[in-house]
Amino acid sequence: MSLKVAIVRSTLNRGSGQVVHIREISKRLIEKGYYVELFCRESFVSLKDVKVNCVPDPLKNVPFLRHFTFASSIVRCTKGFDIIHTHYHPGIFGGIFSHTFNDTPHVFTFHGFAPITRWTNVRQMVKMLDHRIGTFFALRWGVDHILTVSEYLKRVLVKKYLIPPEMVTVCYNGVDFKRFSPKVDGDNFRERYKLKDKKVVLFFGRLVPYKGAQFIIRAAPLIVKEVPECYFIVAGASRHDRLQIDKMLNVSKLKKRFIFTGFVPDEEVPLLYASCDVFSFPSLWEGFGMPLAEAQAVGKPVVAFNTCAIPEVVENRRSGLLVPPNDWRALANAIIYLLKNTDVASRMGEYGYNRVRKIFTWDIVTEKVEEAYKKAIIHHSVQC
């Protein structure tokens, strides 16, 4: 099947897992002969292999109303496409408008929303409430098929959004194994921060409260007590909400043990993973958890919380250790165990690599997307 596909997300942010997802499936669809263009309100990334269009949105700075001006622009810009594939909110409105006014089959990928209570920024809490309510109603009007990135999110769609299960296809994220593999050498990254002979625990993610870097800070005294040569790399930047790391470290005696890299360029991310002994990602909510898959692809054992979609990405006691959410003492004990038992950590890293190599590939993702396009076209023709 060769189709003209319009992919829509309102903003393309750097460091976004959703942008990686969109980039990788777009590249592979193009390789298969599809014509693909991306449409957004604004872009902060460069996607060399895919045409990106920033559509005009006269009310882009006006909350709520901008959802509909953006959607109206999408209708005008995507006329003549065979499929419109939208991601996140308010991109879904662009798909609905195109479905209604251009008679275009519409596929929506649901990446999920972190719970409102996991945010501390009031503006972000209001934004998430708007996204949830908007998506709940949008899913009932002008969507021909839904993709989602985990079984956990499918359950959310069925139980909370009241979507029939046959309307939803699970389509996991993938990993680029040309970039991420156990062969990646992280020694230069270690040397940059003078960690050559140290034990290193890595956190990589947005520095917002629900991603959980604060739990590693709390666990650090217990870890260093048992593993004195341990240091911690915290990589990533803040967006929308800010984790009060400085305040937490000011009352800690271990401030010198923490290295904060800030934003890590895409080309250095594999080296970052390769530099650690244990990857810890104690997130309180994940619809998938791209860093978990990427760390395993580099052969690293993972310690994380046993919640949401994380058990789908990390097989507990095989590719990593999963502990109860919010339990920083259990988190510390799991990290200590892997730092002390390097043979176990090595076996888990190897198992994790082999597992993600089979399950989380972009070729599988692209096949699922193609299947969803076929289902959407059939559903659309029947509905019409």
pLDDT score at 240: 56
Residue 247: the pLDDT is 67
Q: What is the pLDDT of residue 279?
A: 98
Q: Is residue 121 located within the same domain as residue 202?
A: no
- Average pLDDT of span 142-150: 97
Distance CA 59, CA 17 (A): 27
pLDDT in tens, 20-53: 999 999 999 999 999 999 999 999 988 888 999 9
- Predicted local confidence at residue 242, as pLDDT: 58
Contact 219, 335 (CB under 8 A): yes
27 shares a domain with 136: yes
If you average pLDDT over residues 91-113, what whole number do you get?
96
Name the phi and psi angles at 320, rounded to 5. 175, -175
Instruction: Encode pLDDT of 210-226 as tens digits.
Output: 999 999 999 999 999 99
User: Quick one: 74 and 167 in the same domain?
Assistant: yes
Q: What pLDDT score was predicted for residue 59?
A: 81
The answer to whether residues 285 and 330 belong to one domain is yes
Find residue 330's DSSP bridge partners: none
Do the domain assignments include residue 179? no
Q: Are residues 350 and 212 in the same domain?
A: yes
Question: What would the pLDDT profile of 273-320 be if each residue is shown by its tens digit?
Answer: 999 999 999 999 999 999 999 999 999 999 999 999 999 999 999 999
Domain count of the fold of the chain: 2
In a domain, 384, yes or no: no
Residues 147 and 271 in one domain: no
Give the pLDDT score at 246. Answer: 65
Q: Residue 180 falls within a domain, yes or no?
A: no
Domain that holds residue 216: 187-359
* 211 in a structural domain: yes
pLDDT, tens only, 54-67 = 999 888 878 778 88
Reply yes or no on whether the pLDDT at 150 is more than 80.
yes
Number of residues that this document lists for the chain: 384
In a domain, 137, yes or no: yes
Range of weakest confidence among 24-33, 133-142, 315-324, 358-367: 133-142
Inter-helix orientation angle 342-359/290-297, to 10°: 110
Domain presence at residue 336: yes
Burial, 167: exposed, middle or buried (Cβ in 10 Å; 0-12, 13-18, 19+)?
middle
pLDDT exceeds 80 at position 369: yes
Q: CA–CA separation, 324 vs 82, rounded Å?
A: 46
Question: Is residue 324 domain-shared with residue 373, that is, in the same domain?
Answer: no
Distance CA 380, CA 384 (A): 6
User: pLDDT digit string (tens) for 241-266?
Assistant: 556 676 667 656 788 899 999 899 99
Q: Are residues 260 and 371 located together in one domain of the fold?
A: no
Predicted TM-score (pTM) of this structure = 0.93
Residue 178: inside a domain, yes or no? no
Whether 351 and 366 map to the same domain: the answer is: no
Are both 164 and 295 inside the same structural domain? no
CATH number at residue 86: 3.40.50.2000
Please indicate, yes or no, whether residues 154 and 29 belong to a single structural domain of this protein. Answer: yes
**Average pLDDT value for residue range 69-88:** 96
Lowest mean pLDDT among 113-127, 164-178, 213-227: 113-127
Q: Please indicate, yes or no, whether residues 20 and 133 belong to a single structural domain of this protein.
A: yes
